[in-house]
Structure 1
Amino acid sequence: MRTWKVGELAKQTGMTVRTLHHYDEIGLLSPSHRTAAGHRLYVEDDVARLQQVASLRSLGFPLDEIRDLLNERRLSPLDVVRMHADRMRQQLQTQQRLVERLDALAAGLSEAAPVSAEQLIATIEEINMFEKYYTPEQMDYLAQRREQVGEARMQEVGGEWARLQADVQAAMDAGTDPCDPAVQAMAARWKGLIAEFTGGNEGVRQSLNNLYQNEDTIHGQSMAAMRPMMEYIGRAWQCGPSA
């Protein structure tokens, strides 16, 4: 019987040992065996479940919902793979539309005044980043939201996000419990800013979550620092009135 130690499985799948430990702790993916010394040993069935978890995570499902779906067998392995394949096909269609837009941009540039490389790179990054995660309908919805909220408020929100992230990072550095009232207030502010951006649209919220989970850098900001804050705020949502 083939087995994997936690470090081996993490390395081969591109995940972290910390993530696999967390999955075990919350009952999402527990290894089938352990060594005499208590070290985790995963078998092929565990790897198959991990693939289902990874697919559902990429589709925007929260971990507790994935656990319930798999434990209660509400989704079969075939269901999960088909759902993931459908999403990938949607993304391929989105990428094709991006190619068509860039071709149109190139045709226009050949006729018009020169545009700086910096402007082109910024434009490409912006289109690629969002069209990879948002459907055309969601893109239209976000454009409408931007008009409704107004450019001035959008600038204010950017400043609020920066201040909130600094506050959250300071609380994490101080080792403050996520259930502390001060962190609960931060969690409420976080949820409020997301709601203002999404307008309460659940599909947009899931696409936004996918964006933050899968990209290394967004608008020049490293996600290496953002993701621990998201996990911290997520724990705060689970234990307080902001949930």
Structure 2
Amino acid sequence: MCRRTGLTVRTLHHWDHVGLLRPSARTSTGHRLYDERDVDRLYRIVALRELGLPLETIGALLDRDGTGAPALAELLGEHLAHVERQLAALGGLRDRLAALVPAVRAAGGAPSVDLLALIQEVTTVDDTIRNYFTEEQLAALAQRRERLGEDAVRGVQEEWPRLIAQVQAELDAGTDPAEPRVRALAQRWMELLEAFHGGDPGLRDSLYRMQAENSTEIAQQFGGPSPELIDYVKRSATAG
């Protein structure tokens, strides 16, 4: 299933764990087996996620009886429109990068190998982000960034690594998450997250979903928090 769809094992296991996509059967060794109905449901999940719905909403929608689940033809049409918007956005990014490459080469500013690596990183990150956030959400984020100003945004970006290191040190030391100093760190953590999503539940769910499904890659490339660290913060934030 992973080879045919491009989804990761982690994603399929997570969706099984939360009850979103349970395989119809298992082998004697415990491997998941998916039938045609499972594949149909999987497509609906992927399409609705592409359209920006959180997993909880998708599960509730697909589990309804009768006409609750979206008709396949309608869903395909909405998915097509969303993909076309993505292609337009990616085409714009490609044009900008295509113009940048010869300009930098002509100026002798950067080795071509380094520049190509940069291009690959930019397009990969851009594509990943658009798998989780709708065009409307990205526009809202851009507007919030403009309102906050670059100095405030830069301050938050610089604070994150320090905060992650502080919380990691408490976790490594075995500090109880209910300890006041850990709760203070957890509160600041939540404040920084809210600065990103602005209290919008859709943005919050998209952010959490992207982190949950790409935690290893985010940690390796950007120094993001591990799932264990996030769980520690959540336990501290809810400690009474």
TM-score by length of 2: 0.62
User: Does the 8 A contact of 1:29 with 1:46 survive in 2?
Assistant: yes
Q: 1:53: how far off?
A: 1.9
Q: In the superposition, relative to structure 1, how do residues 70 and 108 fare at CA in structure 2: closer, same or farther (>3 Å)?
A: same
Q: Provide the residue aligned with 2:165 in structure 1.
A: 166
| Aligned pairs (5 A) from 1:1-243 | 9-10=1-2, 12-34=4-26, 40-72=32-64, 73-105=68-100, 113-117=107-111, 124=119, 128=123, 129-130=125-126, 133=130, 142=141, 144-166=143-165, 169=168, 181=178, 188-200=187-199, 213=213, 221=221, 226=225, 228=227, 232=231, 240=238
Distance in 1 between residues matched to 2:2 and 2:118, nearest whole Å = 36
**3-state SS in 2 of match to 1:29:** coil
Distance in 2 between residues matched to 1:210 and 1:27, nearest whole Å = 15
Q: Which runs of 5+ in 1 are unaligned?
A: 1-8
Distance in 2 between residues matched to 1:234 and 1:36, nearest whole Å = 38
Q: In the superposition, relative to structure 1, how do residues 47 and 234 fare at CA in structure 2: closer, same or farther (>3 Å)?
A: farther
Distance in 2 between residues matched to 1:75 and 1:233, nearest whole Å = 38
**3-state SS in 1 of match to 2:42:** helix
User: Does the 8 A contact of 2:21 with 2:41 survive in 1?
Assistant: yes
Q: 1:89: how far off?
A: 0.9
Distance in 2 between residues matched to 1:193 and 1:36, nearest whole Å = 46
Q: 1:227: how far off?
A: 6.6
Q: 1:170: how far off?
A: 5.8
TM-score by length of 1: 0.62
Letter matched to residue 221 of structure 2: Q
- State the Cα deviation string for residues 132-167 of structure 1 (Å, max 9, x = none): 737787666555544443444333312321133335
- Among all aligned residue pairs of Structure 1 and Structure 2, give the percentage whose two residues are the same amino acid: 40
Distance in 1 between residues matched to 2:98 and 2:30, nearest whole Å = 57
